[in-house]
């Protein structure tokens, strides 16, 4: 099957041009001016006049079907990847969580079983490590060889996913040898537990106190600590879901010293704030960790994106229904399952707030949502770029179309939206995954199982040299 996309503006991270795109089978065959006039034919021609032709977005941080206490995140691989596709995202990387006392292999096998045959778009895995020991460190090498090239460790969640400094250092040392990238959830969980318990025991049990129990300084402390550990180990480090000006300063200080420190932020930290945690128990809809910050942190994060101190915007999509899941914590914020539903909205929010809002160029929009995540997570040249040889993961994007985000119309399997009623400018009209149209005119035209597992190249060594 050959598809010719004509009359559009191709937007890549390194520039935009008026060009046609020829898709042949699963990949992009040609990008150039006037391909139709040159006699190139196709089975289908799509007229993209007035619209952008952009690489399908890459979301390197999702949690589908993930257990959290007594509940599971609401989107399965089927519903979550379909919702991602509606939002112009054509690649996701999900986290396979290791259970204490079990191997990394068990975690990965379980995640393969959950995803295989269900995904609408291509997918990869990271492994979240909760039990660092000789056996799990040795397992890392084999997983890297299988294309699972990064491992998340936590300074948060004592007694569950938490690793101490020794465990994190040893993970980083191993990564320096096998080329993996270590991702870190950086919050001082030991101190946070003291603050959470003190608030709850004093009767301060509303969602608002989730935010107050996790101050930005304790995110910055952990970010600084793990960057120092990475420097000691000679490895790169990638801070996930960075939420605050304070943590950003720690990353920038590390980068100024020459540390191979990288970080992502998420739409919730760019568009929502601590204020959303107020309003009584409604605030539970906005409980995630790290928490939403006072509004004035947002400008600092946008600055960080412009300066490339933050390289990626991922979602940390981890959806829980308000009714029946979030409300487990009605009497105690510590029992509210942490996480927000955002996988469908990222590209449009960044276009609206970033490009239309004058904060970033349209090329930087593509870079932080597609190109840079693909490059940093071992998919360079394959995903995140409109160029010959790349997978034909393409979006015909209307930069002028306005729509209202709402739980009534979104495709995520969750009963509320964090952005309910917000009008955004920009939307994905046609979404193509490896050459096949999977979303068109608001309809899903793909099938569960279209998406394939992506074996990714290790990037730790290049990132350590700051060469990516
Ligand atoms: O609140 C969050 N972020 N939930 C997802 C799990 C995690 O720590 O990334
Ligand atoms: Zn996390
Ligand atoms: Zn997460």
Is residue 30 situated within a structural domain?
A: no
- Ligand 2 centre to CA of 376 (Å) is 18
| Structural domain includes residue 423 | no
Which ligand does the CA of 73 lie closest to? 1
Query: For residue 62, which ligand has an atom nearest its CA?
Result: 3
Within 56-188, where are the H helices?
Answer: 77-86, 104-115, 134-145, 165-178
**Ligand 1 center to residue 221 CA distance, Å?**
18
Residue 384 CA to residue 378 CA, distance in Å, equals 11
Report if residue 224 sits inside a domain: yes
Q: Does residue 23 lie within any of the structural domains?
A: no
**Of the candidates 198, 350, 192, 210, which has an alpha carbon nearest to the alpha carbon of residue 274?**
210
The answer to whether the beta carbons of residues 417 and 389 sit under 8 Å apart is no
pLDDT value at residue 254: 98
| CATH code where residue 308 lies | 3.20.20.140
Residue 308 is predicted with a pLDDT of 98
Residue 462 CA to ligand 3 center (angstroms) comes to: 24
Flag whether 5 is in a domain: no
Residue 357 lies in a domain: yes
Q: Is 285 in the pocket of ligand 1 (CB under 6 A)?
A: no
> Is the CB–ligand 1 distance for residue 289 below 6 Å?
yes
How many separate domains does the chain show? Answer: 1
Tell me which residues of the chain have a pLDDT lower than 50: none
What pLDDT is attached to residue 303?
98
Please check whether residue 313 is in contact with residue 266, taking contact to mean a CB–CB distance below 8 angstroms.
yes
pLDDT at 468: 76
Residue 239 contacts residue 184 (beta carbons within 8 Å): yes
270 lines ligand 1 (CB under 6 A): no
CA 54/CA 380 separation, integer angstroms: 15
Residue 215 CA to ligand 1 centre (angstroms)? 16
33-37 CB contacts, 8 Å cutoff, 24+ apart: 35/4, 35/6, 36/4, 36/6
Ligand 1 pocket mutation pick from 162, 289, 293, 326 by most atoms within 8 angstroms of CB: 289
Which residues make up the environment of ion ligand 3, defined by Cβ < 5 Å? 316
Lookup result for tokens 């979404």: 431
- Structural element, H or E, at residue 375: helix 372-376
Does any ligand 1 atom lie closer than 6 A to the CB of residue 185? Answer: yes
Which residue has a Cα nearest atom 4 of ligand 1?
Answer: 339
Residue whose CA lies nearest to ligand 1 atom number 2? 339
What local confidence, expressed as pLDDT, does residue 367 receive?
A: 98
Q: Quick one: CA dihedral 399, 405, 409, 411, positive or negative?
A: positive
Protein residues near ligand 2, an ion, with CB under 5 A: 185
| CA dist., res. 407 & res. 272, Å (int) | 17
Domain extent for 290: 56-379
Is 28 inside a domain boundary? no
Question: Is residue 72, in this structure, part of any structural domain at all?
Answer: yes
Residue 294: the pLDDT is 98
């Amino acid at each position: 099957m050959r598809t010719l996309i004509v009359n559009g503006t191709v937007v890549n991270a390194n520039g935009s041009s008026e060009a046609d795109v020829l898709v042949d089978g699963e990949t992009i065959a040609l990008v150039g001016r006037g391909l139709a006039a040159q006699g190139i034919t196709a089975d289908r021609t799509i007229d993209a006049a007035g619209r952008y032709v952009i690489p399908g977005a890459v979301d390197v941080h999702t949690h589908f079907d993930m257990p959290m206490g007594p509940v599971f995140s609401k989107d399965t691989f089927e519903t979550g990847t379909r919702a991602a596709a509606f939002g112009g995202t054509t690649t996701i990387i999900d986290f396979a969580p290791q259970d204490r006392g079990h191997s990394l292999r068990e975690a990965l096998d379980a995640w393969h079983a959950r995803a295989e045959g269900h995904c609408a778009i291509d997918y990869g895995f990271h492994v979240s490590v909760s039990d660092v020991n000789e056996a799990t460190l040795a397992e890392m090498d084999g997983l890297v060889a299988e294309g699972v090239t990064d491992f998340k460790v936590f300074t948060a969640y004592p007694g569950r996913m938490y690793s101490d400094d020794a465990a994190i250092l040893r993970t980083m040392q191993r990564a320096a040898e096998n080329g993996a990238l270590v991702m870190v959830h950086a919050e001082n969980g030991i101190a946070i537990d003291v603050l959470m318990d003190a608030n709850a025991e004093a009767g301060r049990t509303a969602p608002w106190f989730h935010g107050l129990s996790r101050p930005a300084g304790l995110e910055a402390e952990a970010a600084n600590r793990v960057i120092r550990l990475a420097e000691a180990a000679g490895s790169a480090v990638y801070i996930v879901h960075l939420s605050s000006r304070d943590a950003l300063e720690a990353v920038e200080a590390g980068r100024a010293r020459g540390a191979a420190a990288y970080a992502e932020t998420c739409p919730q930290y760019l568009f929502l704030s601590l204020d959303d945690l107020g309003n009584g128990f409604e605030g539970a809809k906005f409980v995630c960790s790290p928490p939403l910050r006072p509004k004035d942190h947002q400008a600092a994060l946008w600055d960080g994106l412009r300066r490339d101190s933050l390289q990626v915007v991922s979602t940390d999509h981890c959806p829980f229904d308000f009714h029946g899941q979030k409300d487990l914590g009605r009497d105690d914020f510590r029992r509210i399952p942490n996480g927000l539903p955002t996988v469908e909205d990222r590209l449009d929010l960044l276009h609206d707030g970033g490009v239309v809002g004058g904060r970033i160029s349209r090329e930087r929009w593509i870079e932080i949502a597609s190109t840079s995540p693909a490059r940093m997570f071992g998919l360079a040249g394959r995903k995140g770029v409109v160029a010959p040889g790349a997978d034909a993961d393409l979006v015909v994007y209307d930069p002028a179309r306005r729509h209202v985000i709402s739980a009534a119309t979104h495709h995520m399997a969750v009963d509320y939206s964090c952005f309910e009623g917000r009008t955004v400018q920009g939307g994905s009209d046609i979404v193509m995954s490896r050459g096949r149209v999977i979303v068109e005119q608001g309809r899903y035209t793909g099938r569960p199982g279209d998406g394939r597992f992506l074996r990714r190249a290790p990037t730790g060594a290049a990132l350590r040299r700051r060469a990516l």
